[in-house]
Amino acid sequence: METEVLEAIDAIRPVLQADGGDIVFRSLDDAGVVHVELLGACGTCPISTMTLKAGVERILKDRVPGVSGVEAVDAA
């Protein structure tokens, strides 16, 4: 499942980069929750939570069976 998640994130990345941001995969837990880090403009954007839930999470759930959610993590 991780490979499919990485491919989906790669498909999302250009849209975020066009707005000065980026997304980095950090982990996938046993419950199907994908942990990502939002970088650049996305990391400091006041609507980043909406981007994460309404955009990234929806796309990952649609493209990768087994994904139950997406959560942002702080910089490693």
Would you kindly state where each structural domain of the chain is located, as residue ranges? 2-72
The CATH superfamily label for domain 2-72 reads Fe-S cluster assembly (FSCA) (3.30.300.130)
pTM of structure: 0.88
Q: Are 23 and 43 in contact (CB under 8 A)?
A: no
pLDDT tens, residue by residue, 33-60? 999 998 887 777 777 777 788 889 999 9
pLDDT tens, residue by residue, 1-14? 999 999 999 999 99
